[in-house]
A and B are shown apart, each in its own frame.
Chain A
Amino acid sequence: MKLQVNGKVRELDVEPDMPLLWALRDELDEKGPKFGCGIAQCGACTVLLNGEPVRSCSYPVSAASGQKVVTIEGLANKDKLHPVQQAWIDHQVPQCGYCQGGQILAAVALLKRKPKPTDQDIDAAMTNICRCGTYARVRKAIHAVAAKGVRV
């Protein structure tokens, strides 16, 4: 089976029903997507699959075969941070940071779809759980990216 992960084609030989999360973490050593619940509730495992956020803990790796997977490690363009990553620094969003890879990727997908999201758009798109409670700053950072008008 082949996956394109952060621009590189990776080969792996695993059961088709292995969740994408564990293929990434334990087979390909891509540690950005995190294990939080295993039942697609929390979103710590979020990756972009062809630009769309998916909860990789509950997504069979075979369904991602041959497609483009982007994890948090693959978001920056070499050393140049993605505008959402920069906004996350500017607004000091993360606390423990464990869920933030997923939060950032969910925000990237939202801003691609809606460059000027309303609060309601943010509410609907940002469903990832943050136990530290960074929600106010997540919202602020997303609005800040939108206000700059950069294309993500």
Chain B
Amino acid sequence: MSSTDQGVRQPDRRLFLKTSATAAAGLSLGFYLPGRSDANNAPRLNAWVEVRPDETVIIRYARAEMGQGSRTSAPMLVAEELDADWGRVRVEYATAHENLASKRAYGDMAAVGSRTIRQSQDYLRKAGATARHMLVAAAAQQWGVPAGECTTAKGRVMHAASKRSVTYGKIAQAAAKMEAPKEVTLKDPKNWTLVGKSIARVDIPDIVTGRIRYGIDAQVPGMLHAAVAACPVFNGKVRTMDASKVQNRRGIVQVLNLGEFVAVVADNYWRAKEALREVAIDWDVGAHGGLSSAAIMEHFKGGFDQAELAVARNDGNTGDALSKAARVFEAEYYTPYLAHATMEPLVCTAWLKPDSLEIWTSTQNPESTLATAARTAGIDQSKVLVHPMQLGGGLGRKSPQDFTRQAVMIAKEMPGKPIKMVWSREEDIQHDLYRPASLVRFKAALNAQGTIDALHIRVSAPSILATLLRLPLPRGVDGQAVASFNDHPYDIPNTLVDYAQRNTNVPVGFWRTVGHSQNPYMRECFIDELAAAAGKDPLAFRLSMLGGKHPRDRSILEAVAKAAGWGKPMPAGVFRGIAETEGYGSYTACVCEVSVNARGEVKIHRVVMGIDCGYAVNPDNIEAQLQGSAVHGLSAIFWGEMTVKEGRIEQSNFHDYRLMRLNEMPKVETVIATTGGFWGGVGEPAMAPLPPALVNAISAATGKRYRSLPLKNHGLSLARA
């Protein structure tokens, strides 16, 4: 009997959540609607803020933590406006079921697109300010003084004239009864005392002691373990399966043919994984068993001559300007498919009970996890509980919920049993939703003054939005496929950006920095080609095209160039490269210094990365994100590529999908040059200018152009730092 046949009744919500809360640390508050007080009368001032009588201030955090540091920096924004004592703040997760039950009091919970801070800063700061207002109002009422005469600091309301003060913990009960103000005034950024300081991340103590729990660490009594294998050719199916060889092995509980994939369920993951290798599976690979990297390249090339192209940008008359130009430059650039390879592979524990479904997983989007689990199980969303867990990296892979769906499909076959599904690394590398490959053709006209009259960028690439999200594309354009082309900041009178949507059977998805992980490399390397053709310095060439309309592109480029000492003499054999980009609401630039020996070994002497993200909430964390972006970028630049043969991804694990190690880490200097007045993202944009800055430096050293990645295919390697 499947779960949908069981006459699911409405669970006793309080009992349901109370019981389940015992299994998950961080849920011990029990359930109450935001704005209400819980059973212990700990006053809840709004969805985000609760002040306990012992002066502990609970600040809720509604998104995932995957190393980006938002579980610290988002609550800092609340605490700033609240004037809380940061030392007494405890950050607790809001959960997807609370969000559902409260009609999304916590808003969007997805940790994607470097948007946690920029998307939620306004309501988080207002939540802090609102709670502060209520605490002040309650104290003023008790003292019989005007609220306007009261001040707050470090978890205390003060009235200077009467020399009275009260702690938040003592006044919170009364404050919870005050009416929330309809409008609050937020602090002037120059008066911030917490935001802008480097604050230690709240999750690090539990990381270094091993206490922190990732999705893979879920432990539920009676839990079984599942190893899975999907068809090595994407979208293929199981034709037949013979599990007779392993069925009676120690610990093997069940071998399931789920059509799209096979699952071995055992009492220990290793037993499941080993047995899976010996299940004889006959795959129906479908129509794509002959797909190869060469065929994909031909498919992309065909996009250039496609009759109908989607127009992403059309300034002036590019065709006309190119046809009349004295000098036209043309180049084709290529970037490969890439796997995410988060250190923690995809995992999901699903426990389908008669009237509820509990999920433990590492997800970048708990609301989507909840919805996927409910839909797959065929139960109402209100009966699904998604436990918040730390993510062992996300990188965009843990936002789509294919893995949650798989785990619930298994759990449906074994109702009442908690099942933890873990993907092997091989499954992870070979069944990813890859960073799309992309083929781009540039044409540019240079005039006699050495400035660009016209730029035509034609993109032939898959669409993530059309294939993964199945969204209709506005005017046929996938914004990620043309990112940093359609919005390039340069003063070029004629720009045409057009797009041929060229999907293949290789599934694509959001990979950290998405379109900005590849397009800025192509754009900024081509700009360097033009600078060389014009006989101009790469920095001066860019600055000359940044006029007055793009002051922030200009200022971050200047700040990074200055920090790097651009223009100053270099030691013999060392060369520089520069690039600037914009994305995720931020402005970024990078300078690299390299030398290249006769064996093609690239020594990176120095990397200077800079960002203007408007406001630097937690500067130390921003520095960490920039350093991390450098590592992420360098792995991709030197080695990253998925190749396709017979419909399958050829790479399978870290021996052939090479990631950078500590001994290869170059010196990275970071420049945080914020100009204020806007809120930009941090986790992704900083990587964007690194590939072009590095490749431009290498080109300066060797005199050659590198119009495709990874660099290993050009005979280049990364020398030890």
Contact flags B210-245 to A (C-beta < 8 A → 1, else 0):
111110110100000100000000000000000000
A-B pairs with lowest CB-CB distance, top 8: A133-B631, A98-B392, A96-B67, A95-B67, A97-B207, A72-B210, A133-B628, A32-B210
Contacts of B250 in A (CB 8 A): 15
Contacts of A73 in B (CB 8 A): 209-211
B299 at the interface (CB under 8 A from A): no
A51 at the interface (CB under 8 A from B): no
B68 at the interface (CB under 8 A from A): yes
- Indicate if the CB atoms of B209 and A22 lie closer than 8 Å: no
- Indicate if the CB atoms of B627 and A136 lie closer than 8 Å: yes
Measured in the bound complex, the distance between the Cα atoms of B343 and A128 in whole Å is 11
Contacts of B27 in A (CB 8 A): none
Measured in the bound complex, the distance between the Cα atoms of B632 and A19 in whole Å is 30
Q: Which of B166-174, B198-206, B406-414, B527-535 contacts A (4 or more CB under 8 A)?
A: B198-206
Residues A37 and B654 in contact in the complex (CB < 8 Å), given A73-B211, A88-B208, A138-B662: yes
Contacts of B204 in A (CB 8 A): 88-89, 92-94, 97
The interface on chain A, measured as residues whose beta carbon lies within 8 A of the other chain's beta carbons, has a size of 58
Contacts of A124 in B (CB 8 A): 663
Closest to B420 in A: A26
- Indicate if the CB atoms of B207 and A94 lie closer than 8 Å: yes
Residues A34 and B392 in contact in the complex (CB < 8 Å), given A129-B661, A132-B67, A135-B662: yes
- Indicate if the CB atoms of A131 and B345 lie closer than 8 Å: no
Measured in the bound complex, the distance between the Cα atoms of B721 and A123 in whole Å is 10
Contacts of A97 in B (CB 8 A): 67, 203-204, 207, 212, 390, 392
**Is chain B's interface secondary structure helix, strand, loop, or mixed overall?**
loop
Please report the number of residue pairs spanning A and B whose Cβ atoms sit closer than 8 angstroms: 183
Measured in the bound complex, the distance between the Cα atoms of B271 and A137 in whole Å is 37
Measured in the bound complex, the distance between the Cα atoms of B423 and A4 in whole Å is 29
Residues A123 and B422 in contact in the complex (CB < 8 Å), given A27-B268, A97-B67, A98-B214: no
A31 at the interface (CB under 8 A from B): yes
Measured in the bound complex, the distance between the Cα atoms of B67 and A19 in whole Å is 28
**Most A C-beta atoms less than 10 A away, residue of B208, B273, B342:** B208
Contacts of A29 in B (CB 8 A): 219
Closest Cβ of chain B to A104, distance in Å, is 6
**Most B C-beta atoms less than 10 A away, residue of A44, A95, A124, A135:** A95
A-B contact pairs, 16 of them (CB 8 A): A26-B268, A31-B219, A41-B655, A44-B343, A71-B210, A72-B208, A72-B210, A89-B204, A95-B628, A96-B393, A97-B204, A127-B661, A129-B343, A132-B393, A136-B667, A137-B624
B425 at the interface (CB under 8 A from A): yes
Known: A37-B653, A100-B207, A129-B661. 5 other contacts (CB 8 A): A18-B271, A38-B273, A92-B621, A132-B631, A136-B667
Closest to B65 in A: A96
- Indicate if the CB atoms of B208 and A132 lie closer than 8 Å: no
B69 at the interface (CB under 8 A from A): yes
- Indicate if the CB atoms of A89 and B200 lie closer than 8 Å: yes
Contacts of A25 in B (CB 8 A): 269
Closest Cβ of chain B to A96, distance in Å, is 3
Contacts of B660 in A (CB 8 A): 133, 135
Contacts of B637 in A (CB 8 A): none
- Indicate if the CB atoms of A122 and B662 lie closer than 8 Å: yes
- Indicate if the CB atoms of A34 and B344 lie closer than 8 Å: yes
Contacts of A132 in B (CB 8 A): 67, 343, 393, 628, 631-632
Closest to A126 in B: B662
A9 at the interface (CB under 8 A from B): no
Contacts of B625 in A (CB 8 A): 95
Contacts of B65 in A (CB 8 A): 96
A42 at the interface (CB under 8 A from B): yes
Contact flags A75-93 to B (C-beta < 8 A → 1, else 0):
1100001000100110011
CB interface residues, A 1-59, toward B, < 8 Å: 14-15, 18-19, 21-22, 25-27, 29, 31-32, 34-39, 41-42, 44
